[in-house]
Amino acid sequence: MKKIQRKSFCALFLFAAVCLFSSANAQVYQKGLIDKTVALIGNEAILISQIEQDVQMRMAQGMGMSDEKLLRCQILEDMLTQKLLVNQAKLDSLSPRTEYVEMELENRLDRIMTQLGGQQQTEDYFKKPIFKLKDEWRTLLNEQSLWQQEQQQVMASAGSLTPSDVKKFYKRVDKDSLPVVSTQYRMSQIVLYPEKEKAVMAVKEKLLEFRQRVLNGEKFSMLAALYSEDPGTAVRGGELRMASKNIYWPAFSDAAMSLKDGQISQIVETPDGFHLIQMIEKKGDMFNARHILLRPKYTDDDRSKAFARLDSLKREIAEGNTTFNRAAQFYSQDLKTYLNGGQMADENTGSIYFEKDQLDPSDYAKLKDMKVGEVSDPFESAEFTMSRATGQTIYKIIKLDEILPSHQANIKEDFTLIQNIATNELQQKALEDFISEKQKITFIRIDDMFKDCPFRSKGWLK
């Protein structure tokens, strides 16, 4: 299911370096210290409670340090940098991106309420009503939006690098400091889809049978445990547990929210497959339901026909009657690659080179034993889109076009990577210079309890 996957609970509460749920109430620390302002930058303040709660979150996530004093110093410097950027953003008349802030606020709240089990549980956990939490988190997100915009402006002011600049950077940089590039593969594919209509009809007939059996008195949970193809929920009789409607596919949420408690939906189609849904309970925009997921199954006949066609194409290519690229253009049914002669590319970056971890496992199982120029035997796979298996069965052959062995990054084979490293260095230098300049003309006061911090930038302590 879309977004059913839960994230680390602690990770939900970190907005950059500032913890989302910093308390407005006074807290007592070691030696009787009460929460107070420990830094001022312009009109922006940093509380010790914010630092302490960030420490707690980092420790909980295993991101702590043996030297907790040094950790607090690093957290404070991160916050100082952000507050300096927020202060400058306000002087530059920048405004928070309201649409982004509200969308992010709702997404975070949905995930937190899903994790805790509902609105009441969330209010009990934080000891605050939802409207109060949203106000506090909105303030933090507005700040995040401001400092990110200011940072982007400063980094963009550094300009871009010409190919000549990149070459100069490569000449002077310590080559051992450059990253090691893992083995990469370039490949092409010819894809055939099975006949979907009969398989879909069979799935729908099965789900209609299940629906009637429940209406006749059988337990939905028992059928889900026996037949659902969602292993994460089948073990619980198909139960999803209380969650925000926004974390599911819209078609699934809409169907579920239209049900009354105990009612069973008609068949619902999502990119994951076909579902029956039984409502358990609704609370506002949250619900708990059971579902049975089935995906179309294809027959041995479908597989045999596709494999025979792919075997024939492989033979035509081997005999020189056509090329792999031309065969892909005429016969491949994959809309993303056939126009490029089957050439595969990363949908996020456009790169035609893939590291092992970026490949579909079934593709790598074939590639690892192939030689450059070789065409694989036909095999069955699952469609892989945006690094996510859709569950759609496909049949394919692949051609290994090139292997780039693991190597230290160099300008000949990895120009784009070197360009990115050089650009990042240029932008970081611009940001450091900007911060150094603003430190000189901005009011900054830091409590004496942090006066011995080994800050990376010396301009914080005046």
* Average pLDDT of the segment spanning 391-417: 91
Q: Which of 27-31, 33-37, 96-100 has the lowest mean pLDDT?
A: 27-31
**Which run of H or of E encompasses 277?**
strand 273-283
| Same domain as 150, residue 24 | yes
355 within domain boundaries: yes
CATH number, domain with residue 208: 3.10.50.40
Query: Between β-strands 273-283 and 180-181, what pairing exists: parallel, antiparallel or unpaired?
Result: unpaired
169 within domain boundaries: no
pLDDT at 27: 44
pLDDT at 52: 86
| Same domain as 454, residue 339 | no
Residues with Cβ within 8 Å of 71's Cβ and at least 6 positions away in sequence, in order, are: 55, 58, 64, 65
414 within domain boundaries: no
| Same domain as 146, residue 131 | yes
| Same domain as 68, residue 53 | yes
The alpha carbon of 405 is separated from its chain's Cα centroid by a whole number of angstroms, namely: 28
> Domain residues for 239?
197-294
| Same domain as 303, residue 259 | no
| Same domain as 318, residue 268 | no
Query: What are the angstrom distances between the C-alpha of 301 and each of 145, 305, 308?
Result: 56, 6, 10
What confidence tier does 308 reach under pLDDT thresholds 50, 70, 90?
Answer: very high
| Same domain as 203, residue 230 | yes
pLDDT at 9: 28
* Average pLDDT of the segment spanning 220-224: 96
421 within domain boundaries: no
9 versus 113: which is more confidently predicted?
113
| Same domain as 451, residue 395 | no
CATH number, domain with residue 50: 1.10.4030
* Average pLDDT of the segment spanning 418-428: 96
Distance of alpha carbon 403 from alpha carbon 371, whole angstroms: 9
165 within domain boundaries: no
pLDDT at 14: 35
Q: In terms of C-beta distances under 8 Å and separation of at least 24 residues, what long-range contacts does 170-179 make, across chains too? A: 170/410, 170/411, 170/418, 170/422, 173/421, 173/422, 175/408, 175/410, 176/408, 178/408, 178/409, 178/410, 178/418, 178/421, 179/408, 179/409, 179/417
* Average pLDDT of the segment spanning 187-205: 92
Evaluate whether 56 touches 95 at the Cβ level (below 8 Å): no
Output the six-digit token pair for 421: 């490293």
| Same domain as 338, residue 190 | yes
pLDDT higher than threshold 90 for residue 61: no
pLDDT higher than threshold 90 for residue 344: yes
Evaluate whether 432 touches 77 at the Cβ level (below 8 Å): no
| Same domain as 331, residue 188 | yes
Q: How many helices (H) and strands (E) does the chain have?
A: 14, 15
178 within domain boundaries: no
* Average pLDDT of the segment spanning 341-362: 89
Q: How many domains does the chain have?
A: 3
| Same domain as 361, residue 304 | yes
- The fraction of the chain above a pLDDT of 70, given in percent, is 89
pLDDT at 3: 47
Residue at a domain's end among 238, 271, 294 = 294
| Same domain as 386, residue 356 | yes
343 versus 110: which is more confidently predicted?
343
417 within domain boundaries: no
Distance of alpha carbon 268 from alpha carbon 280, whole angstroms: 17
317 within domain boundaries: yes
